[in-house]
Amino acid sequence: MDSAQPAARPGAVVGILAFAGIVAAITQTLVVPLIAELPVLLDTSASNASWVITATLLAAAVATPVAGRLGDMFGKRRMLLASLLPLVVGS
């Protein structure tokens, strides 16, 4: 065993990934209670306001496989941290 590498902690990794998954799910559903109020808040029609929800789900559907591939190429930890930055800024 090489002493330069830290010991693997699979429990911590699973915990962090589970937490990240829960945060992503909550972030995607935060707008649902506002559906009835979105047209008034955004001063637009109900059909235009529904694109707020559609856009977040569409962005997640596109970003998930792209982030997975980039994680294979550049490292999963690096991509998880890079994904965390827009989440924090957007929140």
Give domain limits for the chain: 10-90
Work out the average pLDDT over 25-51.
85
Residue 29 has pLDDT above 60, yes or no: yes
Q: What is the pTM of this model?
A: 0.59
How confident is the model over 73-85, as pLDDT tens digits?
999 889 888 888 8
pLDDT mean across residues, the chain? 84
Give dist(CA 91, CA 88) in Å, integer: 5
Return the closest-CA partner of residue 49 out of 28, 62, 34, 27: 34
Helix spans in 1-91 (H): 10-29, 38-42, 46-74, 76-90
Give dist(CA 79, CA 66) in Å, integer: 10
